[in-house]
């Protein structure tokens, strides 16, 4: 099966996400984000914009049988895959801007690579803060700037040269919050107190250049529906040379994709930080 057939045979966007993006890009970040959130056994944790459950799985492992995890996402297709792949988790279809929970419901609230796509980012962060208990931990991960991810930066440049700014901007959408000052501004607007931004290194790995670009082409949140077959072949031809520094002898592709992670501990009612 060719890389193109492999990407297309995955079917719906959520299936593509779980089969290709999770192992290539998202899976390694679950332990990182749940670790920065200081999630412990027995806690009640909410994963906002959970997708197919890449972070939720890591959280569930940490809280164990004595804890409870809720995965929330507005996309029913994502949740259908999550329900199939991650047992013993409560899955809820809802938007981050209107969390269907009482105040101070959770010991920790986490979100991995979803905040960039929220319609109202300060409102969503404010909702996460609202449902967090005093002394609870918030951890929200976003991708660092596109310029800090060398392979994806090359793809963005090629898309701009070949097809114009609108296509390049669509591809760059996941990286729009890759600025620590911007993240701190969003936290201030949301009422999140004493936030801290941590930068962590990560890598993306695909079995081939063709698989990488076909996966991006299939992603409805970026390039989905924007390139026809002729345009894709044009991109692939240029990318074979431009991305050659990131291609290993076995044909696999790998390069750095760093992330910025906002963490904050909610103060208790007396205004004192937790220990």
Which positions of the chain have pLDDT values less than 50? 1-10, 270-275
* Structure confidence at residue 209 (pLDDT): 96
Determine the Cα–Cα distance for residues 214 and 232; give it in Å rounded to an integer. 8
Tens of pLDDT along 73-126? Answer: 999 999 999 999 888 899 999 999 999 999 999 999 999 999 999 999 999 999
* Structure confidence at residue 34 (pLDDT): 97
How many domains does the chain divide into? 1
Q: Which two tokens stand for residue 245?
A: 């520094």
* Structure confidence at residue 267 (pLDDT): 87
* Structure confidence at residue 248 (pLDDT): 98
Assess if residue 273 is contained within a domain.
no
Assess if residue 123 is contained within a domain.
yes
Assess if residue 183 is contained within a domain.
yes
Assess if residue 270 is contained within a domain.
no
**Nearest Cα to 202, choosing from 126, 135, 255, 262?**
255
**Nearest Cα to 12, choosing from 52, 47, 49?**
52
Containing structural domain, residue 117: 3-265
Assess if residue 73 is contained within a domain.
yes
* Structure confidence at residue 1 (pLDDT): 31
Assess if residue 274 is contained within a domain.
no
Assess if residue 272 is contained within a domain.
no
Tens of pLDDT along 20-30? Answer: 899 999 999 99
């Amino acid at each position: 099966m060719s890389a193109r057939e492999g990407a297309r045979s995955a079917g719906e966007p959520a299936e593509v996400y779980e089969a290709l993006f999770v192992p290539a890009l998202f899976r390694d970040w679950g332990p990182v984000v749940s670790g920065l959130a200081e999630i412990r056994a027995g806690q009640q944790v909410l994963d906002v914009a959970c997708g197919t459950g890449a972070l939720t799985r890591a959280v569930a492992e940490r809280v164990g049988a004595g804890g409870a995890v809720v995965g929330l996402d507005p996309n029913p297709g994502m949740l259908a895959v999550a329900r199939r792949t991650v047992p013993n988790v409560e899955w809820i279809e809802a938007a981050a801007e209107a969390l269907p929970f009482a105040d101070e419901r959770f010991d920790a609230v986490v979100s991995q690579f979803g905040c960039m796509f929220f319609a109202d980012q300060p409102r969503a962060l404010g909702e996460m803060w609202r449902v967090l208990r005093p002394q609870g931990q918030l951890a929200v991960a976003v991708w660092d700037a596109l310029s800090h991810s060398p392979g994806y930066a090359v793809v963005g440049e090629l898309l701009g040269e070949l097809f114009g700014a609108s296509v390049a901007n669509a591809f760059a959408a996941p990286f729009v919050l890759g600025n620590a000052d911007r993240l701190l501004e969003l936290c201030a607007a949301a009422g999140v107190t004493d936030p801290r931004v941590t930068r962590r290194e990560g890598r993306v790995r695909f079995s081939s250049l063709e698989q990488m670009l076909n996966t991006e082409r299939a992603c409805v949140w970026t390039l989905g529906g924007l390139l026809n077959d002729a345009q894709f072949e044009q991109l692939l031809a240029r990318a074979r040379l431009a991305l050659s520094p990131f291609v290993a002898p076995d044909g696999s592709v790998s390069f750095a994709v760093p992330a910025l992670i906002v963490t904050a501990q909610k103060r208790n009612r007396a205004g004192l930080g937790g220990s």
